[in-house]
Structure 1
């Protein structure tokens, strides 16, 4: 088996939080002074990179920590509306029984939200749950996990749903797998940084060289 450490993103990868994000986005825009979005614009934004979305919304980088904190607080009040993708829950449980794979999670969301959405059973499957990273600053968290687990970057895979995740994996020197069911559509991922494309959860089995 090639990968020894498999690291998952949370929002849009394990948790189906995009509908909630779209619902609260314009409220965040009015509160924090960036451009509101019409429903018709959402598909095009999903085809854009993370940084391009911020530019299109006239969203300065310095506002990111404050807006992210507000979004996490709103989610915390509506956790019952953010489910885990059922097929991903099944996959995580199956991987938990593979002794030669360690699972980790790196997310920009709050630990409290991650634990509440996943539930105790799934959270305990992960060897590490690293939360609170900046959306554009996950690479140091990924490198820290490599060092902690004594795994080379060639033996690690990061699975996420935004171009910023692909950039973080590249900065950490590890392979990246893009999921097709998250915040961004597959067209938004730079092909040069994307080793795998997962159209459904069971596609991840093939990347891990483990037959479903």
Structure 2
């Protein structure tokens, strides 16, 4: 069955928000009671699954929803300077021309996503944008999306840069492409057994051809 729908994570996959997010994490450390991570710790975190990172940082689980909300609000001040990953817009345009529907599922806010896409000229490429409220709820959104779009699991593929993206796709029984240019290292991504692991946006079309 050919892939009809390709859905993307946003931060780290379509855009580079690493530096703004790192500044925000440091800025909110005292308020939320966790130590600001050092550069060495950040490099270590890249090799860990998302849930392990939260344990290592030491944020109280009760505070996670509030922290996520504050991060989104703080990011809103930074989004005008955020840029698309080099080569991603051209690849998405090609996929769109070939008849693949494109969408976004993100734990960022929809306003933040639209701020970037409207400035970078990529808004018209996407059929929809779903903003999730939790860090680990993407599989539920994927399941809703499959139902709403009337797609079978084998007609959809998810693209993300973190281990939790792979976990969400597997829970929903859809194929997943992990990208190495985002947050998690190739080592961490490979440990979760994605269907594909790519190093450049141009390889997205190759993955679709491989499925066919």
TM-score w.r.t. length of structure 1: 0.92
Give the Cα separation in 2 of the matches to 1:134 and 1:193. 23
* Cα distance in 2, alignment partners of residues 191 and 73 from structure 1: 32
Contact preservation (8 Å) 1:35, 1:59: no
Contact 1:111/1:132 (8 A) holds in 2:
no
Partner residue, 1:171: 171
Residue number in structure 2 paired with 1:116:
115
Match of 1:170, SS? helix
Q: CA separation in 1, counterparts of 2:8 and 2:101?
A: 11
| 1:92 aligned counterpart, secondary structure | helix
Q: Secondary structure at the match of 1:176?
A: strand
TM-score of the aligned structures, taking structure 2 as reference length: 0.92
Equivalent residues of 1:170, 1:193 under 8 A apart = no
CA distance in 1 between partners of 2:191 and 2:39 (Å): 28
Residue 11 of structure 1 and its aligned partner are, at CA, apart by 0.3
Q: Does 1:106 align with 2:122?
A: no
Unmatched runs of 5 consecutive residues or more in structure 2:
none
User: 1:108–1:132: 8 Å Cα contact kept in structure 2?
Assistant: yes
Per the alignment, residue 18 of structure 1 pairs with: 18
RMSD: 1.6
CA–CA distance in structure 2, aligned partners of residues 90 and 30 of structure 1: 41
Deviation at 1:192, TM superposition (A): 4.8
SS at match of 1:200: coil
Please give the per-residue CA displacement for 1:104-133, whole angstroms capped at 9, x wherever unaligned. 110011111000111174222211110133
Distance 2:116 2:28 in 1: 22
Counterpart of 2:200 in structure 1 is 200
Instruction: Flag structure 1 segments of 5+ consecutive residues without an equivalent.
Output: none
Question: Structure 1 residues 46, 196: CA separation in 2 closer, same or farther (over 3 Å shift)?
Answer: same
Aligned match of 1:42: 42
The Cα of 1:80 is off from its aligned counterpart by 2.5
Aligned positions, number: 209
Q: Which moved more, 1:152-161 or 1:131-140?
A: 131-140
1:126-205 map, 5 Å: 126-189=126-189, 191-205=191-205
Give the Cα–Cα distance (whole angstroms) in 2 for the partners of residues 3 and 69 of structure 1. 33
